[in-house]
Amino acid sequence: MRSLWTFAGPAGFGYVEPQPGLRRAGPVRRPPFTEAAALAPPGAGVTSAGALCCEFHRFGAAQRGAVGRLSLPPVFRRARGGAALTPRPQGGLAYAPLAVGLALFLSGLAAGAAFLPGRWGWLAWFAYVPLFWLTRQADFRAAFLRGWLFGTGTWVAGVHWFVPPLAKFLGITHAAALVPFVAVCAWQGLMFGFFGWACRAGSVLFSRRLGISKGTALLLTAMPAMAVVEHSFPGMFRAHLATTQYFHLPSVQLLEFTGPAGLAWFITGFNAALYLLVKALHERAGVRRAACIFAAFCFLAVINEASGRRQMALTDATAAQQFSRGQAVKAAVLQGCVPVEGPPGEVNPAGVEVYRGLTVEAARQGAGLVIWPESVYGREVCFSSGAAGAAAPAFENSFRKQLAKDVSAPVSVIMSAEGELPSDGGDKRSYNFSYAAGPDSRLLGFTQKRRLFPFGEFIPLGKYFPVLYRLLPGAGCLSAGERILPLPAGGAKAGVLICFEDMYPELARVFPGLGADLLVDITNEYRFGYKMQPVQHLFYSALRAIENRKFFLRAANTGQSAVIDPCGRMLEVMGTKVRGSIVREVALMPAPTFYSAHGALMDNSGLLALTALLLLSAIIPVCRGRCL
């Protein structure tokens, strides 16, 4: 038996007789690799065990001259066309900037496709791995830019339908609307720029300060960072990873406890764990640890599936109990599919006639509560003087009489209209109102739209630059409201959201605490097309139903109107370009959920976690210094 040290050089493999004292029984520990050792010429003498990256081999007499299986560290790469090996940098392969940009944009498109209707949500579980991979060795600036490019691609895919609506809102051509569309996507993409920067900065900072690996630091940073940017980024649209998973209802039932932040943590953590596994396999180091982390997330997915199915069964049992107790109302949502082209206050007589007929028909079917979509009535709502601060506000008498003629059915109605609200200060502001009227057309209550749609109801920065309203005459000039009250109508207390307000979980979750026992969204999406957007919007309503465990009634002028149960199931849906109504009995669900009661804590869980990590990173090094 003969022992040899082997090393790799540019001319192939070299063999060097071990120096005295280096021979030992059993396996030899691999000395640390140095680039100088890898480039040493064959036959060079060995001065120390750490000078070369060596492997101990034993050859029998019968195998003289044969080379055994080499076990080399991952920093080597076999050169094409020969046995020579060359060192590979520890940071990984270097990529051309164009290739990096293209890969990030394409992976962003995949992440955005997960938000589209259908069963594309599975993409969300893998689409963020390229972002982690391509920012793992980038500096902070490059990590931000790469995240921003990824995010821009995400929004281009997710809201590609937004070009025609922009053209209608702004009164410009579709080609010209591409400019604000790209600007909107670029702005929204910044949320992923901040996410990429936070992941890179966190992996460096926390690994150094807490004494953990960069992979663990990335995992601990990425999950709360995604929750923060989802909830806090001041974007035109709100995007939650939870929306991508609606196609599989058991997976989203945890929203009752965590809100959208729960799935933001989980999906991001799954992507980070998968990235760590791919990285470990690529580098052939730490595979067992990475596999354990990934297996843990897979196990959590199984637990979430089982828990979701159990929660759906419990919720169904609660709803059945409410029905048996008579805690239910018969409600109707109307979908007239009428054009709304005139300015506020200009009535469309044909449209009012359509909705009057649908209301009368719903009353014949026994509905005690009828819901009209947003903006289809046309008349400006008029309140009596002092209605803003009155405990029991009222309609102006002339408006009440006109409303009685237009509805002409003994039912409670929930409607929407723009109008001015008199105030003690004398100033007048226009709002988008939702109000409830009883069978005698008396005002039962009203609420104001709190989140306005940019360019449709106001122009960003228009308050400071009024010239923007002259340049874009098609945009509205409304004020955001502050009145948040459930509307008592038809034996129920309805928490009413207007248009895109159901994108915001924090707007819906306040109503159960105020006594609301069902949720309503009234919307008018005739400018947004009839394909992608109405279905995407419908998913938001379903998630709000799950979070608060309430029946959700959705009235959309051009579709899709729906009745959604507390588990997020679509009990009945009217497609786009369909005229009709849905009349259905819905249970009045009791008690707020954990998320309804403690939503602020869950929505800010990411910020709290990052703050805790920063505090730990500041405290632990100080404690170590004192111990030393």
Q: What is the per-residue pLDDT across 316-352, written as a single tens digit (0 to 9) for each?
A: 999 999 999 999 999 999 998 887 655 555 667 888 8
Radius of gyration of the chain (CA): 32
Distance CA 232, CA 504 (A): 11
Q: Which long-range contacts (CB under 8 A, 24 or more apart) does 308-311 make?
A: 308/249, 308/250, 308/251, 308/252, 308/253, 308/254, 309/250, 309/253, 311/253, 311/254, 311/256, 311/567
Distance CA 563, CA 55 (A): 69
Distance CA 345, CA 511 (A): 29
- Tell me what pLDDT residue 381 has: 79
Distance CA 267, CA 275 (A): 12
Dihedral angle of Cα 537, 363, 487, 515, to the nearest 10 degrees: -90
Residue bearing tokens 């999406």: 525
Give the model's confidence band at 573: pLDDT under 50 very low, under 70 low, under 90 confident, else very high: very high
Instruction: Average the pLDDT over 279-300 and give the result.
Output: 95
pLDDT exceeds 70 at position 472? no
Distance CA 577, CA 355 (A): 15
Concatenate the DSSP letters of all residues of 17-30 into one string: PPPTT---SSPPPP
| Residue 485 backbone zone (phi > 0: left; psi -120 to 50: alpha; other: beta) | beta
Q: What is the pLDDT of residues 152-206, one digit of tens each?
A: 999 999 999 988 888 887 778 889 989 989 999 999 999 999 999 999 999 999 9
- Tell me what pLDDT residue 202 has: 94
Give the model's confidence band at 282: pLDDT under 50 very low, under 70 low, under 90 confident, else very high: very high
DSSP state of 344: T
58 class by beta-carbon count within 10 Å (0-12 exposed, 13-18 middle, 19+ buried):
exposed
pLDDT exceeds 70 at position 17? no
Joined together, the tokens standing for residue 121 give: 């949500």
Phi, psi of 8 (to 5 degrees): -105, 135
Residue bearing tokens 């005739």: 526
Residue type present at position 236: M
Residue 94 or residue 232, greater confidence: 232
Question: What is the chain's length?
Answer: 628
- Tell me what pLDDT residue 84 has: 40
Give the model's confidence band at 583: pLDDT under 50 very low, under 70 low, under 90 confident, else very high: very high
208 sits in which H/E element = helix 174-210
pLDDT exceeds 50 at position 81? no
pLDDT exceeds 70 at position 385? no
- Tell me what pLDDT residue 4 has: 42
Q: What is the pLDDT of residues 7-16, one digit of tens each?
A: 444 444 444 4
Distance CA 7, CA 343 (A): 82
Distance CA 204, CA 470 (A): 49
pLDDT exceeds 80 at position 430? no
Distance CA 253, CA 239 (A): 18
pLDDT exceeds 60 at position 572? yes
pLDDT exceeds 50 at position 125? yes
- Tell me what pLDDT residue 22 has: 45
- The CA-to-CA distance between both ends of the chain, in Å, stands at 49
Give the model's confidence band at 577: pLDDT under 50 very low, under 70 low, under 90 confident, else very high: confident
- Tell me what pLDDT residue 422 has: 64
482 alpha-carbon distance from chain centroid: 25
Smallest Cα–Cα separation from 42: which of 73, 75, 4, 78?
4
Helices (H) and strands (E) in the chain, counts: 18, 17
183 sits in which H/E element = helix 174-210
Residue 422 or residue 189, greater confidence: 189
Please say whether the beta carbons of 488 and 518 come within 8 A.
no
Q: Lowest mean pLDDT: which of 273-277, 282-286, 303-307, 417-421? A: 417-421
Smallest Cα–Cα separation from 544: which of 562, 532, 524?
562
| Angle, vertex CA 561, rays to CA 559 and CA 564, nearest 5 | 145
Q: pLDDT > 90: what percent of the chain?
A: 51
Q: What is the pLDDT of residues 34-55, one digit of tens each?
A: 444 444 444 444 444 444 344 3
Phi, psi of 396 (to 5 degrees): -65, 145
Q: How far is CA 268 from CA 220, 262, 264, 456, 539, in A?
A: 10, 10, 6, 33, 21
- Tell me what pLDDT residue 35 has: 41
Please say whether the beta carbons of 514 and 495 come within 8 A.
yes
Please say whether the beta carbons of 334 and 365 come within 8 A.
no
Joined together, the tokens standing for residue 627 give: 């111990």
Distance CA 381, CA 610 (A): 47
Residue type present at position 202: G
Please say whether the beta carbons of 88 and 74 come within 8 A.
yes
Smallest Cα–Cα separation from 175: which of 191, 163, 159, 188?
163
pLDDT exceeds 90 at position 605? yes
Mean model confidence pLDDT for the chain: 81
- Tell me what pLDDT residue 378 has: 75
Smallest Cα–Cα separation from 367: which of 504, 490, 232, 511?
490
Distance CA 43, CA 14 (A): 6
SS3 track for 99-140 = HHHHHHHHHHHHHHHCCCCCCHHHHHHCCCHHHHHHCCCCCH
Distance CA 10, CA 571 (A): 70
Distance CA 2, CA 16 (A): 12
DSSP state of 239: -
